Amino acid sequence: MTSPILVFDLDGTLVDTADDLVATLNVVLEEAGLGGVTGAQTRAMVGHGARVLIERALAAKGAERAPDEVDALLARYIKHYGANIAVASRPFPGVEAALDRFSARGFALAVCTNKLEHLSLRLLDALGLSPRFAAICGADTFAVRKPDPLMLTETIRRAGGDAARAVMIGDSATDIDTARAAGIPVVAVDFGYTPVPVTELSPDVVISHYDALDDAVAKVLA
Ligand SMILES: O=C(O)COP(=O)(O)O
Ligand SMILES: [Mg+2]
């Protein structure tokens, strides 16, 4: 028996992780002798996983590196971030109450993120959110990641959700492209991390607070 399901992106959607991401990124960049990036720069570079974040930061510094050097920076990034995963990171306002409401209505809940799976679990554990999700899938959970629609459909399957009654909630073009490719409606939050305002990316509905999620889901599943 499958359930209706909400599938959430993590960084910039469920949890405001930017300050911890930028702190780790700057440790790595400074150790490489490159100086740091700003929070605003980092927010515009998140969404395709840690390796792309590092590559984009290097490009912003005009300091592209060979793949094996990026590998070393990535290893350092993962180690530092894993040890400092929830220093400043907190759920966005209204997240827990919204998850409670949808659980009570029989929705399955899942996470589909381009953050590595073990880091996603560690973050959600640290915030006490893990037990709410039937599946927590990260960049390395499947052979593909967002924007490949298979990542979303496999997350739904793993969580026991019904793809015909599924909604993706995300903050970036990556999430909107993924949902569109999977034929699943998408609600965008406008408080996340994206270089382009989500209103310009044509999601089905845009919300500015989790209090508005119920109406948004009712609209897209109608
Ligand atoms: O780690 C990233 O770049 C993005 O993660 P997200 O998919 O949860 O936004
Ligand atoms: Mg995101």
CATH superfamily of 3-16+89-221: HAD superfamily/HAD-like (3.40.50.1000)
pLDDT in tens, 84-138: 999 999 999 999 999 999 999 999 999 999 999 999 999 999 999 999 999 999 9
15 token code pair = 């949890």
> Does the pLDDT at position 26 exceed 90?
yes
Supply the DSSP symbol for 17. -
Q: Quick one: pLDDT at residue 1?
A: 75
ipTM: 0.95
Q: Which atom of ligand 1 is nearest to the CA of 14?
A: 8
**Candidate list 9, 16, 20, 175, residue with the active-site label:** 9
pLDDT tier, 207 (very low <50, low <70, confident <90, very high otherwise): very high
Let me know if domain 18-83 sits in CATH 1.10.150.240: yes
Where do you find CATH 1.10.150.240 in the chain?
18-83
Where do you find CATH 3.40.50.1000 in the chain?
3-16+89-221
User: What percent of the chain is helix, strand and coil (3-state, nearest 5)?
Assistant: 50, 15, 35
User: Is 162 marked within a binding site?
Assistant: no
Q: Quick one: pLDDT at residue 10?
A: 98
- Adjacent-strand bridge partners of 3: 161
pTM of this prediction?
Answer: 0.96
Residue 20 known to be catalytic: no
The residue type found at 97 is A
152: nearest Cα among 1, 4, 9 = 9
Q: Quick one: pLDDT at residue 81?
A: 98
Would you call 101 helix, strand, or coil by DSSP?
helix
User: Is 9 marked within a binding site?
Assistant: yes
Would you say how long the chain is, in residues?
A: 222
Close Cβ partners of 116 (under 8 Å, ≥ 6 residues apart): 49, 50, 78, 138, 139, 140
